[in-house]
Structure 1
């Protein structure tokens, strides 16, 4: 199984928050997001640092500082190595791709070539391998 990296997990969670994962409006995205938080709680117990960091990011999804803290906590607790977390993140991505906002936001950092993940900007896509594609406008 190809693992989704911690930075991509954090970005997926940030995008999910921005696309309404914490609101009741989109139940599939909210359910997938809540399942990730619950799984982290199941693995690490209540009041664990990764969930506290995620709650801070929920309050301010544009904060690079909160993103970095969440990334650090997920790495420290080896959350991305857990198969259950990888499965839930993939389910969250699939749920978000069913919404227009989620699809647009995911397109900025997910490269949809099979399971490769990269960074995509307005006119360029940088793949994990370091290759890049430039769209001429």
Structure 2
């Protein structure tokens, strides 16, 4: 992993989450972000290294961003990720002015319904050979 990078942990069986990862890859022209499924050994090891355990400390339905020794979850993770993307997406970072309780309530509502609305896969996303270097592996 490059020195100035961050890791996005996501629900590897969630179609919405996999779509989000693909979106980030398309809009991350610098290759800043790396990825791991929350369910993977690599994702769990990274969380443990940050002092986070699942499921008691963190809702497993949250996208997690690990950047510069900080762990961001829920809507804050999404806004932090948007700030690093190319195009106009960094403007979404202004969403931090909305109270976190409101942002996270909306985030959790979508998270609770994501399988019903977008479906789920039987197994975690497998990256293409071109993208393999962007995903954490043992």
User: Shared fold (TM-score greater than 0.5)?
Assistant: no
**Which of the two has greater helix per residue?**
1
Q: Which has the higher contact order (CA 8 A, sep 6+)?
A: 2
**Which of the two has greater strand per residue?**
2
